[in-house]
Amino acid sequence: MFDLERIKTIPIAAVARDFGFKLSQTGAGRCLLPGHDDKNPSFSIRRLNNSFRCFACGRHGSVIDLVIEMEGVSFNEACSRLRDRYVGAAGKGRPRQMRAPTKVIDVDPPVPDIVADQEVFGWLLDQSPLLASGRDYMVSRSISHATLEHFKVGQVANRQTLVRVCIERFGLSRLQKCGLVTDTRFGPELIFPSGYLLFPFVSQGAVQYIQARRSDAMPQRRWISLAKLPPPIFNLDILATGVTTVAICEGVTDVLSAHELSRAALGLLGASSKLSKEAISGLRNRNVIIMADADAAGSSFAQRTSKSLQALGVTVALKSFPPGVNDLNDYLRIKRGNKAS
**Interacting residues toward Zn ion by CB under 5 A:** 31, 33, 36, 54, 56-57
**Residue 156 amino acid letter:** V
Cβ closest to Zn ion, residue 31 vs residue 249: 31
Residues 6+ apart with CB under 8 A from 71: 77, 78, 81
Cβ closest to Zn ion, residue 52 vs residue 151: 52
Contact 149, 136 (CB under 8 A): no
- CB of residue 327 vs Zn ion: minimum separation in angstroms? 25
Contact 133, 195 (CB under 8 A): yes
Cβ closest to Zn ion, residue 31 vs residue 143: 31
**Residue 231 amino acid letter:** P
Cβ closest to Zn ion, residue 307 vs residue 335: 307
Q: Look at phi and psi of residue 10 and say left if phi exceeds 0, alpha if psi is from -120 to 50, else beta.
A: beta
Cβ closest to Zn ion, residue 274 vs residue 319: 274
CB neighbours of residue 291 within 10 Å: 24
For β-strands 287-291 and 245-249, DSSP reports them as parallel
- CB of residue 85 vs Zn ion: minimum separation in angstroms? 23
Distance from C-alpha of 102 to C-alpha of 83, rounded to nearest angstrom? 9
Closest CA to 130 of 204, 55, 200, 179: 200
- CB of residue 20 vs Zn ion: minimum separation in angstroms? 14
- CB of residue 21 vs Zn ion: minimum separation in angstroms? 11
For β-strands 51-54 and 60-62, DSSP reports them as antiparallel
- CB of residue 146 vs Zn ion: minimum separation in angstroms? 42
Cβ closest to Zn ion, residue 56 vs residue 246: 56
- CB of residue 58 vs Zn ion: minimum separation in angstroms? 7
For β-strands 316-318 and 223-225, DSSP reports them as unpaired
Contact 257, 332 (CB under 8 A): yes
- CB of residue 233 vs Zn ion: minimum separation in angstroms? 23
- CB of residue 44 vs Zn ion: minimum separation in angstroms? 10
Cβ closest to Zn ion, residue 18 vs residue 278: 18
DSSP assigned state of 90: G
Distance from C-alpha of 240 to C-alpha of 275, rounded to nearest angstrom? 15
- CB of residue 100 vs Zn ion: minimum separation in angstroms? 21
Indicate the SS3 state at residue 16: helix
Cβ closest to Zn ion, residue 66 vs residue 202: 66
Contact 246, 264 (CB under 8 A): yes
Cβ closest to Zn ion, residue 59 vs residue 259: 59
99 exposure class (CB count in 10 Å sphere: 0-12, 13-18, 19+): exposed
322 exposure class (CB count in 10 Å sphere: 0-12, 13-18, 19+): exposed
